Amino acid sequence: MNLLSVDTSTEACSAALLSGGDIIERYEVAPQQHAKLVLPMIDRLMSEAELVPAQLDAVIFGRGPGSFTGVRIATALAQGIAMSVDCPVVGVSSLTAIAQGIYRTTQQRHCLALIDARMNQVYKGAYTVADESTGESVMQLVGEEAVLDPQQVRLPTGTTAAHWIAAGSGFQAYHDVLSDLIEEGLSGHAETVYPSARDILLIGKPDFESGLGVDAALAKPVYLRDNVALTEAQRNARNA
């Protein structure tokens, strides 16, 4: 099975390739450079694994939330490759990827992933690993992903703050506003954690294996923030 993954949803740009059971990855923190970096990254991974594009079984992409342009870069790239080699695509949440990265590197089983959404807001998702028995555990979303004011960020009800770690650029940007949360006694925080293609791949692989991959035309970004402009009617109402 050969799976390619990409994530360009935040300041980090990364690509990973699963081939022959091994995952290789390229990862770089390079804001605004994603469109230039990502294809060369993929190209190098493929040469390293001695694969050609037609051998790919699926493209897994970071579908957001995050930078609007960034999530579109990954989406358009997944669409272009998958359409060309006629393979399915799997979209993976960038918030889940952050949580997965925390679990992979620290074994912390409860993660509050926060990405700076600008305009004094964050993208938020709370994640928990339910079952560690399989050895390939994937973080599961608790509740819903949301874009909200940092003041509104809460841990899922009925959980103990001491079990949770907060991670991501949203925590870094709104550290002060999130102080209530910190005082509740989080077990820790990891600020400069970005989604990585390696985690995107780990999360998307079981989806692909259970047939959840979709046609290239259905590869869609998830922005969370959908009101990006006022209609003329809204502007007139506001000025009235």
Partner 1 sequence: MQILGLETSCDETGIAVFDTEKGLTAHAVYSQIDLHALYGGVVPELASRDHVRRLVPLVRKTLSDASIELGELDGLAYTAGPGLAGALMTGSVFARSVGWALGLPTVGVHHLEGHLLAPLLEPDPPIFPCVCLLVSGGHTMLIHVEAIGVYRLLGESIDDAAGEAFDKTAKMLGLPYPGGPHLAKLAEGGDAERFSLPRPMTDRPGFDFSFSGLKTAAITTLKKEVVSEQDRADIAASFQAAVVDTLLIKSQRAVEAEGVSQLVVSGGVSANRSLRDRFRDVFDQAGVQVAYPRLEFCTDNGAMIALAGGIRLQAGLRDPSDLTDPEALSASIRPRWPLDTLPLLPVNAS
**C-alpha span between 142 and 200 (Å, rounded):** 18
**Nearest in space to 72 (alpha carbons), one of 98, 34, 42:** 34
Contact predicate 109/79, CB 8 Å: no
Write out the H or E segment, with its range, that includes residue 102: helix 94-106
Which residue number, 72 or 163, has a Cβ lying nearer to partner 1? 72
* Residue from 39, 129, 142, 177 in contact with partner 1 (CB under 8 A): 39
Q: Is 166 in the site for partner 1 (CB under 8 A)?
A: no
Cα 235 to Cα 72, 120, 192, 230, distances in angstroms = 28, 22, 38, 6
**C-alpha span between 94 and 200 (Å, rounded):** 8
* Residue from 83, 142, 146, 182 in contact with partner 1 (CB under 8 A): 83
**C-alpha span between 198 and 184 (Å, rounded):** 32
Q: Is 120 in the site for partner 1 (CB under 8 A)?
A: no
Which residue number, 62 or 221, has a Cβ lying nearer to partner 1? 221
- The binding track of 51-80 with respect to partner 1, each residue x by CB under 8 A or -, is --x--------------xx--xx-xxx-xx
Considering only residues 181 through 240, tell me which ones interact with partner 1, judged by CB under 8 A.
Answer: 216-217, 219-221, 223, 228-233
List interacting residues with partner 1 (CB under 8 A). Answer: 35-37, 39-40, 42-44, 53, 68-69, 72-73, 75-77, 79-81, 83-85, 216-217, 219-221, 223, 228-233
